[in-house]
A and B are shown apart, each in its own frame.
Chain A
């Protein structure tokens, strides 16, 4: 049995917690503590403590709205319990329908960004023009200046990317070294194929 709601009047952080709730409701993007503190005109440390209170109240299994730390800030989202109902109201977001080419391109930009289309093409072996254009249109990547050498436009992932994938930041991505086979292993396999062919 869940205890009753514990935003008790008398707790000095209650008023601040209610203010933060309001700010998170009106915000359309995650808000870092500094921005919340600026808007609430309060101390960042007190804001963090008050966010703890908000998190107690708005969590999975207790509320239809869930407070989360995502994309470098704090935000509200719908609870997983309410996902089906939300899906009836809204169409499947465009960010979710990604082809294999788009996903590979997104991975390259997330790990190596800012990087240009030639950089992506060099790794994938196919031109990245359409995949990049699709990701920009979906708001998952955005322009981030130009390459020093050839002047090609470079791209990086957006906060929306982190939010769609539920990442607090890009540092939550698995380390590249832990992914896939290493160069040595591939080289051994190449050598083995070559030996087999010449035998």
Chain B
């Protein structure tokens, strides 16, 4: 008798035992769905058909079925495995007996239900969605209303809403020339100035235009621009005037970088 060729006909699987093992090991069949008792019964039936006891087959089957049971137990009760392992043999036997008794009662209850279903098999009745009249009963009715007043309310809703003004969103760009003249006037009075100090009180858009003016002056060679570090103050000087000597600037850079 070859255990691996044992034919199985279970709820979750139908075929030879070795195919079941292969599918389980490849995780293509959920062992939790497999009725292991069914496998044992199939084996015992096959064994009973033979007149002599095949010890080799029994041994092989016991090893395989024990491994399957262990795998299944771990799958079903991952948290309880450790808990049960700690039980004393006496307590474990008690727990096993309790669980078997519980299952036995449920099997008996299932048998009672099946009998009941058979005895009540001739019951035919109407099935349909739940009634809705109870819902209507719960709705509070409206007080009597004046149709004219209702019409007024609807008219209010029908009026076009006032148009939202977007005037405040319009961007006004001051002319670049305005800042060109302004910076030239400053440089006539002083040889150098701090850009942030000059535009500090202006709006963001005006500061942007002022910076464009600064770039324009730099392009035309009227000024030199220097900045010790990113986001450091921008120093502006008339062309030909050094803002600071190179050593000074290096020190300043290093200090800011540190």
Q: State the majority secondary structure of interface residues on B.
A: helix
Complex contact A100–B94 (CB within 8 A): no
On chain A, which size bracket covers the interface? Answer: 35 or more
How far is it, in angstroms, between the C-alpha of A19 and the C-alpha of B205 when the chains are bound?
A: 81
Query: Is B106 engaged at the interface, CB distance under 8 Å to the other chain?
Result: yes
Complex contact B124–A103 (CB within 8 A): no
Chain B residues with a Cβ closer than 8 Å to the other chain, count:
46
Chain B neighbourhood of A100, CB < 8 A: 110
Query: Is B139 engaged at the interface, CB distance under 8 Å to the other chain?
Result: no
Complex contact B11–A125 (CB within 8 A): no
How far is it, in angstroms, between the C-alpha of A127 and the C-alpha of B72 when the chains are bound?
A: 10
Query: Is B104 engaged at the interface, CB distance under 8 Å to the other chain?
Result: yes
Complex contact B103–A107 (CB within 8 A): no
- CB < 8 Å: which of A83, A103, A123 contacts B114? A103
How far is it, in angstroms, between the C-alpha of A163 and the C-alpha of B128 when the chains are bound?
A: 13
Most chain A C-beta atoms within 10 Å of own C-beta, residue among B11, B35, B109, B116: B109
Complex contact B109–A96 (CB within 8 A): no
Query: Is A98 engaged at the interface, CB distance under 8 Å to the other chain?
Result: yes
Residue pairs across A and B with CB atoms within 8 Å: the count is 136
Chain B neighbourhood of A54, CB < 8 A: none
* Known contacts A76-B125, A125-B76, A164-B123; is-contact A103 B101 (Cβ 8 Å): no
Complex contact A90–B33 (CB within 8 A): no
- CB < 8 Å: which of A80, A98, A124, A185 contacts B103? A124
Q: State the majority secondary structure of interface residues on A.
A: helix
Query: Is A13 engaged at the interface, CB distance under 8 Å to the other chain?
Result: no
Complex contact B109–A174 (CB within 8 A): yes
- CB < 8 Å: which of A160, A167, A180, A187 contacts B94? A187
Complex contact A28–B103 (CB within 8 A): no
Q: Contact flags (1/0) for B97-139 with A, using CB distance below 8 Å?
A: 1111111111111101110110111111111111101100100
- CB < 8 Å: which of B103, B117, B130 contacts A123? B103
Chain A neighbourhood of B117, CB < 8 A: 96, 98, 164-165
Q: What 3 A-B pairs are tightest by C-beta distance, nearest first?
A: A28-B128, A83-B122, A127-B32
List, sorted by A's number, 24 A–B pairs whose CB atoms are closer than 8 Å: A27-B131, A28-B126, A28-B129, A38-B134, A38-B137, A75-B125, A76-B126, A78-B124, A96-B117, A100-B110, A101-B11, A107-B109, A121-B32, A124-B103, A124-B106, A127-B76, A163-B123, A163-B125, A165-B116, A166-B120, A173-B112, A180-B101, A181-B101, A190-B97
